[in-house]
Structure 1
């Protein structure tokens, strides 16, 4: 997906006074991919100055932005992630200004050049192993499936699930049907690592054949490794089953746990 398709030009938006100097002089564009209820802007075109990204949201989205800010600060020095340039929050609104991660998304590379497919998938597996090798004892954030099931139940009851956005195999399902299908797969034996939480092709930036960084880190926390494996595996399905299986092999999974794959894909539908 090109930058033109990912975003649209927009006027500069009003920001807190404490942030106004940091964003002055930039050209603004609004991101159309993965906003999750908030707004994401790319700030670019300021001579001699690198691009920035700004996330803005209210109410529950503001809480999500605050969660991401805390995780980015914790990940700094452990993995390549955006640096927090400025953070501002009020009772029900939050603004997060970050440095841009260089490169193209893994999705853009896979879409543009089939000849790179194997190399991209291998790089995604290497980076995920690097993330999962961070000691869980160092991570203060919990994202395990029991915790996320509680959040999912609250979202269902609040009517926050976009049932029209379910994957094709669950087209026409209700959120309650997704919930019931998950319950049928429990219990699951946890295999806990530090996870990204949304290890999708649009959240991984690549330079010279390697992952240069990851974005959208608001769900980072300790969870079963299949939280990440399932989302990446599902994204790769667009490019064929052979790439899906290669990704799992390169990560080190010879015989995937299909039950866990299915559970985590169902769980992701509710977020």
Structure 2
């Protein structure tokens, strides 16, 4: 398990109005995320709140722009960061957000294993709440057909990190993952509003209660197993009994192994 999730760094260039807000902050860069964007925690400024900044160029800047619109929508329904500032040029984007209170689920499960059951129950309850948002209220689509098209483009461009595959697919190529997914299609859709990356680092709790989620770039309508599979994978790093408890608390007694495996493999390509 990776305990150190960030490292100290220096400030990056930013538009003048944003740079003025960021003055006097200490900077720490996230070392965990795989979105392609650089994520910074800004802290230590007297009488100022902790903030987070996401920065990227070119295609990553486009992704950050999409996250900004999704984040503003998501914050109307569940706990999520508030957008402080968003800046976009022709090839760069900066998204400045408030920090979430509390600790991430990963931090709690790592440092307080005696809280594991309570944390898992809170994560399941929060996901039920997210998935209960009416699909008609969500303007964003993230279903597996759209994600497959993006995955195919990433494979063709050589952007998939094959060395980062899960143990079950250790030594596989991206093409082998793609072919294995095709054999699981078609899937009967069960669309809900999904987070898209429902992982332990993206979910925050305080005093045992859910505060909310971060990293909203993949929010949209998709099969519920998009979120369930990622959490299943995350909890497998800790204890198989937590995986089963999460699904039971969410309300599923029998896993759809076809959907679970498909979405686990789909996530490998991002």
TM-score bracket for this pair, using the shorter chain length: over 0.9
Specify the alignment match of 2:144 in structure 1: 145
**38 and 192 in structure 1: CA distance in 2 versus 1, 3 angstrom threshold:** same
Specify the alignment match of 1:83 in structure 2: 82
Separation (CA, whole Å) in 1 of partners of 2:75 and 2:264? 28
RMSD: 1.2
Gaps (5+ residues) in structure 1? none
CA drift of 1:113 comes to: 2.0
Is 2:30 aligned against 1:28? no
Specify the alignment match of 2:10 in structure 1: 11
Separation (CA, whole Å) in 2 of partners of 1:114 and 1:12? 35
Specify the alignment match of 2:191 in structure 1: 192
CA drift of 1:114 comes to: 2.0
Is 2:98 aligned against 1:99? yes
- Aligned 8 A contact 1:2 1:108 in 2: no
Moved more, 60-69 or 179-188: 60-69
Specify the alignment match of 1:174 in structure 2: 173
Give the TM-score normalised by structure 2: 0.97
Specify the alignment match of 1:38 in structure 2: 37
Separation (CA, whole Å) in 2 of partners of 1:193 and 1:66? 23
Specify the alignment match of 2:73 in structure 1: 74
Separation (CA, whole Å) in 2 of partners of 1:2 and 1:234? 15
1:56-77 superposed Cα distances (whole Å, 9 cap, x missing partner): 1011111111111010111122
Separation (CA, whole Å) in 1 of partners of 2:218 and 2:103? 22
Separation (CA, whole Å) in 1 of partners of 2:34 and 2:55? 10
Specify the alignment match of 1:212 in structure 2: 211
Separation (CA, whole Å) in 1 of partners of 2:88 and 2:260? 36
Moved more, 17-26 or 215-224: 17-26
Moved more, 7-16 or 185-194: 7-16
Separation (CA, whole Å) in 2 of partners of 1:42 and 1:52? 6
Specify the alignment match of 1:261 in structure 2: 260
Q: Number of residue pairs matched?
A: 270
Look up the SS of the partner of 2:236 in the other structure.
helix
Look up the SS of the partner of 1:98 in the other structure.
strand
Look up the SS of the partner of 1:238 in the other structure.
coil
- Aligned 8 A contact 1:196 1:217 in 2: yes
CA drift of 1:86 comes to: 0.4
Is 2:131 aligned against 1:132? yes
Gaps (5+ residues) in structure 2? none
